Amino acid sequence: MRGRDGYRAVLAERSIRRLLAASLAGRVGFLMLPLGLIFLAETAARAGALIAAFSIASALTPARGRVVDRHGARALTAFALACGVFTWALVAASLLHAPTAVLVAMSALVGLVAPPLGPFTRAAYGRMLDETLRQRTFALDSAGEEGAVIVAPLLAALLAGLLSPEAAVAIAAGALLAGSVATAGAAPEPGPKPTTHARRVSLPASLWLLYAALACTAAALGAIDISLPAVARENDHFSAAGVLFAVMAIGTVAGSLLAGRRSWSISPQWRIAALTALMGAGIALTATMTSRLPLLGAALLIPGLLLGALFATAYVLADRLAPPGSGTRTFAWLVTANNGGIALGAAGAGALAEGSGAAAGLWLGAACAFAGTVPAAAAAVMSVRVLK
């Protein structure tokens, strides 16, 4: 089963259609929140404080993932309900012109109880599907999440403009809650609850090495996020930054779908190592084209394709390496590694671009991706013990 027939087989499964659609709807709601909070804040200083509080609290995703692994879908629903209530309370506080400290504290509460929707969904795929359909479903999920990353800010901006920032945030919370509840209802019941010993089991070293490799890749992505607007500004075409990001996003979606449709002869652990090295080379190529925007745009398809394939493959490998009863926590750590890497890469590229030009940020991104090949190769070697 290959190509469109393969994806048709996935989407022919009603349970998968329901789970994927519900989860992506909820994830769009969650991804609307940061921009909605920025609009709601009104000033840059307040916006920075709200986003910092929200982001730092959200970083505890693995802890929430452990709770969901232990208590199942009802825990996901409880987190989503609490997140919705705190978000609507934040909106009410904003309408009442509450002090900044109150809004910051409430933003932290929203992030603290944000449901681990993506990790829960990916863990559910592992319980629902055989190996072939699982690979394609992870690829669809990866492509769908990239689409959500594109759509959510646009939707938040549209709602804030047509209605109000408060309405945009309130609607985002509603979408997150509705999507989470629907996801919890669509996911299969987990097997028998893990024993006390199983709940305390550590994640294998190969998984931690995979997270390190993906953090390096994410740092490369963070460097690109900062460098592309700087490149466009240096060429006196600042509006071209949006086109450059769009090209890379298209490549990422295509890369996810292409990775899912293939019957690979290389194991996923070694594919990760190879894709990481190739991504470093692709970013290095873009760093040589910063004075020629059309060529840069075309070249960005390469790291985009590789990034999509990399994450689709990483989901497959993480699913295989996850200890029984630890699926949500396993995927939650992947999210944390990605977010942390993006933040570090963006900070480094910002400092470099300021003093050495935009190309320096892209070279940093290439270096980060190449650095990821070391833990990726180590993960491939160590995973043999887990997967045999």
User: Among 138-152, 178-192, 301-315, 325-339, where is mean pLDDT lowest?
Assistant: 178-192
Q: Which of 137, 157, 191 is the last residue of a domain?
A: 191
Q: What is the mean pLDDT of the chain?
A: 90
Q: How sure is the predictor about 302, in pLDDT bands with cuts at 50, 70 and 90?
A: very high
Residues 275 and 187 grouped into a single domain: no
- Considering the domain architecture, whether residues 166 and 224 belong to the same structural domain is answered as no
pLDDT digits (tens, 9 = 90+) for 187-244: 887 655 555 544 567 899 999 999 999 999 999 999 999 999 989 988 988 888 889 9
pLDDT single digits (tens) 51-76 = 999 999 998 999 999 999 999 999 99
**Beta carbons of 112 and 60 less than 8 angstroms apart:** yes
In 10 A of CB 267, how many CB atoms? 16
* Domain stop point among 127, 156, 191: 191
Same domain, 272 and 339: yes
pLDDT at 359 over 70: yes
pLDDT in the model for residue 3: 46
Q: Please, which pLDDT band fits residue 2 given cuts at 50, 70 and 90?
A: very low
Which domain, by its residues, includes 252? 198-387
Count how many domains the chain has.
2
Q: Give dist(CA 34, CA 172) in Å, integer.
A: 10
Q: Both 237 and 361 in a single domain?
A: yes
Q: Tell me the two tokens of residue 277.
A: 């090295």
List the beta strands (DSSP E) in 45-117: none
CA–CA separation, 349 and 92 (whole Å): 38
> Residue 196 class from Cβ within 10 Å (0-12 exposed, 13-18 middle, 19+ buried)?
exposed
Q: Tell whether the model's pLDDT for residue 386 goes beyond 90.
A: no
Does 254 share its domain with 121?
no
CA distance 180 to 200: 26
DSSP characters over 201-219: PPPPHHHHHHHHHHHHHHH
Q: Check residue 350 and give its pLDDT.
A: 87
State the pLDDT at residue 262: 81
| Claim to verify: residue 255 and residue 375 sit in the same structural domain | yes
Domain end (from 135, 157, 191)? 191
Q: What is the predicted pLDDT for the residue at 318? A: 94
| pLDDT at residue 191, rounded to an integer | 55
Whether residues 17 and 104 fall in one domain: yes
pLDDT digits (tens, 9 = 90+) for 9-26: 888 888 899 999 999 999
